[in-house]
Structures are given as structure tokens and as C-alpha cells.
């Protein structure tokens, strides 16, 4: 691993008489020949000594011994060797103690592949045989797995994340310990859970992550119970593999949640419990809301033509949601032998949508009020009426009629239609 800035930090610490190493994920990725993301540095120098050695520092995490060192090449996190005592809340240590021994520092780390250090010359320190485990494709806890998951339950999700994103087999006693400790996941904040799940879904093997999550039973022990029937993924196992063909986390989440066959409102609420951002949550839920609208229409006795339902849905849920739904349907596998609402939707409605949906969208002249050729002010002036709640309703009505081609998306025609509607 060669990073000019980091190696300057390491050298400066060593010249001051301390030990200093690259540690954690950057060493793992260097051993694997993968691109390095963030560099972590560990040292025997105490935080105040680190602050004394470098001209510019920021005490970013003093409670766990971390100082950020600022040099011309960038910012580097330097953490004093430490050990952790008596974990509390199944997440963090009650106290940390600074130590002078690298091997002790590496012992507190979660997996053998994350418990390696490298000096500035590139010599590996690997007391827990992380390199051998990596070579064998094995993910293994440092020390006794049963204890390590009991100390910090988040490690169970990191375990599944690393196994899926790095394509590793989980070593037997590590997996047994994960199964035994799964109920402890209840103690982990939903933000942390969400962040791990997002990284699994965005990673190279979302299907494997989902299968491991199901096999582990972890999802049953979330801090906030989500009303989602995760076992439904078992019935759509072949569709899970199609998820990786989709780009971007929004499409992937939409596909995974569509397979659970629950209404969009339930999904929306679950994503909120999972602390998804408003933007991320809406991007996913709107796709399912459009699916709901189209599927419901296909069930009634006198179905409005699919074209109309589709165009209206695209206006109400957004063009982005409509394009996303088409991408999902393109990737979904055959539904032979499957039953239920989704299977019906895929056999009855999806083929026609896949044939015509894209062209239908091209025919829609406006998807949003921004694209409507008339503004609220225009309408108020033309009707000589004070703005009020009536206006939003009228504009939406004009938008939908223009989108469907019932009136042209032109100023004169829209004003005329507004006057007629009054
Ligand atoms: P990535 O950044 O790709 O998620 P990483 O291994 O760098 O992987 P970080 O969360 O950045 O993960 O943590 C850096 C290092 O700190 C890890 O490699 C590991 O040694 C240690 N570590 C992080 N979280 C934990 C934890 N929950 N329990 C034990 N050690 C941990
Ligand atoms: Mg990292």
C-alpha cells in the first residue's frame, strides 16, 4: 500500500519514537489487491502525544483515542492502540484503555481479515491469520465468536455484509455464534441496521446477502418490528438473483420489496422505521404505489384501458417511478409455477406494459405541474379568483387531462378548460 500522505504520518510518528501502522479495512483491501477507501492508522503514541507531534490536528474522537492529523496531502485518522473493557448495551465498550501492544489492539477487532496491520515498509503484522483466512475465502471472528457477537451485536450484520460483498464463506463457529446471538440485534439502532442493509443491497451480491439474512433469522429481531413478510423471498428465490442486474440502490430495494407483495403504504412505513431518508424512501415507495395502481385496475370487472391507468399513474407517481417499474419488470424472471397477486400481475399485466409502456410514456406531454403550460397565477388571473385550495385541485385536474391528451398542453386551451371547469 502506498499513500504518500499516510506514509508521511507513519514516518513522523516513528521518528518521534512511537510505533505506527496501517490497520483495518485498508490493510485487508491492500492484501486483496482491491482499491483502498479510507486509511486508518494505529499508533502507540497517546492522543496528546499525537497532538504534540503534528502542527495541525483535530480531536475528532478523543473518547476512543482518535485524532485527525492534517497535512498537506490530506486528513488522516490516527488512533492510539487500545483495548476495550466490559461492553454495554450490546454495542459499545464501557471504557477503553490505551495500551502499547499492537497485538492487543488487533485482538479487539471483529474479523481476522480486519485485524491485520502493515508498517510503512509494507510488512504485514497478522497475529490472527487473517491473510490465510482471506486466501481460503473464510470470514472468521477474532477469538471466540460467541463472545464477540455478544459484546457488539452490530458485528452480526457486518458479518453478513462482508460475507456477501467479499464473497466469503462464514466459518462454522462464527456462523453458529451468529445464529445463537441473533436476538441481540434488538439492541442495535435502526440507523446502523439501515446502513449495513444498504451496503449489502448496493454491493455485488445482494441475493446472497438476502439468503444469509433469511437463514440467520436476524430480520426477526430488529429493534423496531417491520410488518414485512420476509419469508416471501423464499418463494421468489430465483428473482433474487435478478436484483444484481439492476443498477442503483433504489431499483434494487424496489425489486426486493415488490417480491414481498405488500401494499406501497406498508413499504413506505417500513422504510421510515428503517430511517431511510425521505428521498430514498419515496423513490422506492412510489414505484410500488404505481405497481399497486396498475395491478388494482387490472382486477376490476370493467378495467379502464391499461394505457390510461399507466399514464395517469406515471403522472401521479412520477415519470422516474414509471421508468423504474419498467426496468424491474424487464429483469423479473419467468413466473411458471408461482401463484398469488404478483404472479398474476406479471403474467396478465406486465407483458403489455413491457410492450407498450415506454411508448405510452413518450406520448405524455407533461408529467408535473412544472411542465404544464399554465401556472397558478395564470389560472387565478383568468378566473379572477383568489388563490385557495381549489387551485391545486384544478391544476392537478388540468395536468392529468393534458397528460392523457384530452386537452393540449397549451396556454390558451388550458385557460379555456379552466374557465369551463369553473
Ligand atoms: P469498510 O470501511 O469497507 O466498511 P472497514 O473494515 O474499514 O470496512 P470500518 O467500519 O471502517 O470497517 O472500521 C475500521 C476497522 O475498525 C475494521 O477493519 C475493524 O478492524 C474495526 N472495527 C470496525 N467496527 C468494528 C466492530 N463493530 N467491532 C470490532 N471491530 C470493528
Ligand atoms: Mg473503513
Tell me: the pLDDT tens digits for 35-93?
998 999 999 999 999 999 999 999 998 888 999 999 999 999 999 999 987 788 888 88
CA distances, 271 to each of 63, 154, 222, 234 (Å) = 32, 19, 13, 21
Ligand 2 centroid distance, CA of 284 (Å)? 28
Higher model confidence: residue 274 or residue 339? 274
Which cell goes with 6?
499516510
Predicted local confidence at residue 200, as pLDDT: 98
More confident call, 116 vs 345? 116
Indicate where the chain has its CATH 1.10.110.30 domain(s).
Answer: 137-225
Residue 176 confidence (pLDDT): 98
Per-residue confidence at 281, pLDDT binned at 50, 70, 90? very high
H or E element that contains 78 = strand 74-80
Report the 10 Å Cβ neighbour count for 239: 23
Domain with CATH 1.10.246 in the chain: 369-421
Mean pLDDT of the chain: 94
Distance CA 179, CA 316 (A): 44
The pLDDT value recorded for residue 332 is 87
CA of 33 to the centre of ligand 1 (A): 18
Residue nearest (by alpha carbon) to ligand 1 atom 16: 24
pLDDT at 90: 83
Identify which of 6, 22, 25 to mutate to test ligand 1's pocket (most ligand atoms within 8 A of the CB).
Answer: 25
Is the distance from the beta carbon of residue 82 to the nearest atom of ligand 1 less than 6 Å?
Answer: no
The three-point CA angle 86-90-94 to 5° equals: 30
Task: Report pLDDT for 298.
Answer: 73
For ligand 1, whether the C-beta of 110 sits within 6 Å is yes
**pLDDT for the residue numbered 96:** 84
Is the pLDDT reported for residue 301 higher than 90? Answer: no
Report d(CA 167, CA 175) in Å as an integer: 15
Checking if the pLDDT of 19 tops 80, the result is: yes
Of the options 1.25.40, 3.40.50, 3.10.620, 1.10.246, the CATH number for the domain spanning 369-421: 1.10.246
Residue 215 to residue 257: CA distance in whole angstroms: 18
The residue contributing the CA closest to ligand 1 atom 3 is: 25
Burial class (CB in 10 A: 0-12, 13-18, 19+), 204: exposed
Residue 2 has pLDDT above 90, yes or no: no
> Model pTM?
0.93
Nearest CA to ligand 1 atom 12: 25
% of the chain residues with pLDDT over 90:
84
Mean pLDDT of 388-397: 93
Question: pLDDT for 91-140, tens place per residue?
Answer: 888 788 999 999 999 999 999 999 999 999 999 999 999 999 999 999 99
Question: No. of H helices and E strands in the chain?
Answer: 22, 11
| Residue range 303-321, pLDDT digits in tens | 678 999 999 999 999 999 9
Separation between Cα atoms, residue 209 and residue 200, nearest integer Å = 6
Q: Which ligand is nearest to the CA of 105?
A: 1
CA of 158 to the centre of ligand 1 (A): 9
Handedness of CA 307, 250, 32, 121 (dihedral sign): positive
Mean pLDDT within 222-242: 92
CB 177 within 8 A of CB 227: no
What element of type H or E holds 412?
helix 411-421
CATH 3.30.460.10 fits 1-130, yes or no: yes
Identify the CA nearest to 13 among candidates 38, 40, 43: 43
CB atoms within 10 A of CB 176: 13
CB atoms within 10 A of CB 355: 10
Mean pLDDT along residues 277-290: 96
| pLDDT tens-place string over residues 354-387 | 999 999 999 999 999 999 999 999 999 999 988 8
Q: CATH assignment of 137-225? A: 1.10.110.30
From-to residues of CATH 3.30.460.10 in the chain: 1-130
pLDDT at residue 421 in the model = 82
Amino acid at each position: 500500500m502506498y499513500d504518500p500522505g499516510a506514509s508521511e504520518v507513519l514516518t513522523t510518528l516513528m521518528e518521534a519514537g512511537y510505533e505506527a501502522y496501517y490497520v483495518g479495512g485498508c490493510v485487508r483491501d491492500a492484501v486483496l489487491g482491491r482499491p483502498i477507501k479510507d486509511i486508518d492508522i494505529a499508533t502507540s503514541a497517546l492522543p496528546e502525544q499525537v497532538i504534540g507531534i503534528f502542527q495541525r490536528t483535530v480531536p475528532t474522537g478523543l473518547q476512543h483515542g482518535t485524532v485527525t492529523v492534517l497535512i498537506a496531502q490530506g486528513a488522516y485518522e490516527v488512533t492510539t492502540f487500545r483495548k476495550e473493557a466490559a461492553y454495554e448495551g450490546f454495542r459499545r465498550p464501557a471504557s477503553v484503555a490505551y495500551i502499547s501492544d499492537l497485538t492487543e489492539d488487533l485482538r479487539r477487532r471483529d474479523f481476522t481479515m480486519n485485524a491485520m496491520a502493515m508498517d510503512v515498509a509494507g510488512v504485514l503484522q497478522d497475529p490472527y491469520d487473517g491473510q490465510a483466512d482471506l486466501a481460503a475465502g473464510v470470514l472468521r471472528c477474532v477469538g471466540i465468536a460467541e463472545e464477540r457477537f455478544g459484546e457488539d451485536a452490530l458485528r452480526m450484520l457486518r458479518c453478513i455484509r462482508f460475507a456477501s460483498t467479499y464473497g466469503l464463506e462464514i466459518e462454522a463457529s462464527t456462523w453458529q455464534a451468529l445464529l445463537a446471538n441473533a436476538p441481540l440485534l434488538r439492541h442495535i439502532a435502526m440507523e446502523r441496521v439501515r446502513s449495513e442493509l444498504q451496503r449489502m443491497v448496493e454491493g455485488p451480491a445482494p441475493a446472497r446477502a438476502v439468503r444469509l439474512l433469511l437463514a440467520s433469522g436476524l430480520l426477526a429481531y430488529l429493534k423496531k418490528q417491520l410488518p414485512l413478510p420476509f419469508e416471501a423471498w423464499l418463494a421468489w428465490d430465483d428473482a433474487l438473483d435478478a436484483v444484481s442486474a439492476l443498477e442503483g440502490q433504489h431499483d434494487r430495494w424496489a425489486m426486493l420489496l415488490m417480491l414481498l407483495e405488500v401494499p406501497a403504504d406498508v413499504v413506505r412505513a417500513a422504510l421510515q422505521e428503517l430511517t431511510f431518508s425521505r428521498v430514498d424512501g419515496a423513490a422506492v415507495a412510489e414505484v410500488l404505489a404505481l405497481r399497486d395502481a396498475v395491478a388494482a385496475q387490472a382486477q376490476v370487472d370493467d378495467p379502464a384501458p391499461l394505457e390510461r391507468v399507466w399514464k395517469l399513474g406515471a403522472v401521479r407517481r412520477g415519470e422516474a417511478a414509471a421508468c423504474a417499474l419498467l426496468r424491474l419488470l424487464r429483469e423479473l424472471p419467468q413466473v411458471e409455477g408461482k401463484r398469488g397477486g404478483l404472479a398474476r400481475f406479471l403474467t396478465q399485466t406486465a407483458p403489455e406494459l413491457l410492450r407498450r409502456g415506454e411508448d405510452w410514456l413518450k406520448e405524455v406531454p407533461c408529467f408535473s405541474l412544472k411542465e404544464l403550460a399554465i401556472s397558478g397565477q395564470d389560472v387565478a388571473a383568468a378566473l379572477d379568483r383568489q388563490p385557495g385550495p381549489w387551485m391545486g385541485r384544478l391544476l392537478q385536474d388540468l395536468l392529468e387531462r393534458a397528460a392523457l391528451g384530452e386537452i393540449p398542453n397549451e396556454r390558451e386551451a388550458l385557460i379555456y378548460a379552466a374557465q369551463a371547469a369553473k
